Amino acid sequence: MTSTAPVAAPPIPDHVSIWGELADVDHELRHVDVAGVRTRVLRAGSGPDLVLIHGTGGHLEAYARDVAGLAAHFRVTLYDMVGHGWSDLPDVPYTVDVLSDHLVGLLDVLGIARAHLSGESLGGWVAAWTAAHHPERVGRLVLNTPGNIANKPEVMARLRASTTTAVTDPSDENVRRRVAWLFHDTSMVTDELVNLRRSVYSREGFVAAIGNTLVLQDPATRARYSWDPSWVGRITAPTLLLWTDHDPTGGLDEAEMLRSWLPGAELHVVHGAGHWPQWERPAEFVAEHERFLLGGAS
């Protein structure tokens, strides 16, 4: 008589899905009107206000892996910037001042007098601009792989080309390539992430919207808003620079450049991650936010 040993079930993956990350987190997803712009917002948790701001062509799901951890200590707000995700797509250039005004308007609508800001890539640019021009609205500031601080033309051209290709032809191949650019470990590029972004890129009017976003990758337009000590030096909020060792937009030399314009800013390097450390290293991302944002008076 033979016996067959039971076959062990495969382990549950660390990341199942975006819904899996939110399944046990009390949260609210809705749209609010910000100066006529229908804006998609997700909120969770309680405590000091923390607003998370995604990057170029992105959407609030970029932070799905961090909501549960951050909501344990903060009232977390994620949103789709104007011209992004499932927010409205008005036909105007989405320059940094426009994106910052939209953020400040959102704070007003939500009744947030002052918040910590954490922005990734373009979101970091918007967060920094807001801290410089609306200092009374910002507690502490986290700039997460804020992207091409040195304004390198080749980085602008590469981002413009890959994003335009993915939006004008949102095939699986094109969008998967665009999403993979965000990651050091490309095995983390799931079908769910790709198809979510394909859905965004396929929205009516999104081709025009991405053109309005990519004006910031045009050197002449960018020059009016580019990272520069003339405005960066106005930031008074305590600041954490969250960099990675595999960021495709700029190395640690750019982190040091930014830190020279922000005396007293801290630098933390996340190893083994690309442009999305909040997705590739969520535990470290959350822990650094807790340490820095709760570590002193805002």
**DSSP code per residue over 220-246:** HHHTTT---HHHHTT--S-EEEEEETT
Confidence of residue 296 (pLDDT cuts 50, 70, 90): low
Q: What's phi and psi for 154, nearest 5 deg?
A: -70, -35
- Token digits for 169? 């032809």
- Its domain, for residue 142, covers 18-293
CA atoms of 15 and 61, how far apart (whole Å): 13
Q: Which of residues 115 and 2 earns the better pLDDT score? A: 115
pLDDT, mean over the chain: 95
5 pLDDT above the threshold of 90: no
Token output for 270: 């996340």
Question: Is residue 192, in this structure, part of any structural domain at all?
Answer: yes
Q: How far apart are CA 133 and CA 100, in angstroms?
A: 9
8: in domain: no
Is residue 12, in this structure, part of any structural domain at all? no
Q: How confident is the model at residue 9 (pLDDT cuts 50, 70, 90)?
A: confident
pLDDT at 272: 96
Are 156 and 131 within 8 A, CB to CB?
no
| pLDDT surpassing 90 at residue 170 | yes
User: In the predicted model, what is the mean pLDDT of residues 123-136?
Assistant: 98
pLDDT for 6: 75
Q: Is 1 a residue whose pLDDT tops 70?
A: no
Q: Does residue 234 have a pLDDT over 60?
A: yes
pLDDT attached to residue 2: 62
CA–CA dist 48, 70 (Å, integer): 11
Per the structure, how many domains does the chain have?
1
pLDDT tier for residue 295 given thresholds of 50, 70 and 90: confident
Please tell me the distance from the alpha carbon of residue 32 to that of residue 30, in angstroms, as a whole number.
7
CATH assignment of the domain containing 281: 3.40.50.1820
Mean pLDDT computed over 39-49: 98
Q: Angle at the Cα of 103 (from 297 to 81), degrees rounded to 5?
A: 125
Residues of the chain above pLDDT 70, percent? 97
What Rg do the C-alpha atoms of the chain give, in angstroms?
A: 19
Is the distance from CB of 40 to CB of 85 less than 8 angstroms? yes
H helices, E strands: number in the chain? 13, 8
pLDDT value, residue 13? 86
Query: Does residue 50 belong to any structural domain of this protein?
Result: yes
Predicted confidence band at 298 (pLDDT cuts at 50, 70, 90)? Answer: very low
Q: Is 103 exposed, middle or buried (0-12, 13-18, 19+ CB in 10 A)?
A: buried
Q: Does residue 298 belong to any structural domain of this protein?
A: no
| In-domain check, residue 227 | yes
Quick: pLDDT tens for 66-79: 999 999 999 999 99
Q: Write the Ramachandran bin of 144: left for phi over 0, alpha for psi from -120 to 50, otherwise beta.
A: beta
Give the pLDDT of residue 150.
Answer: 85
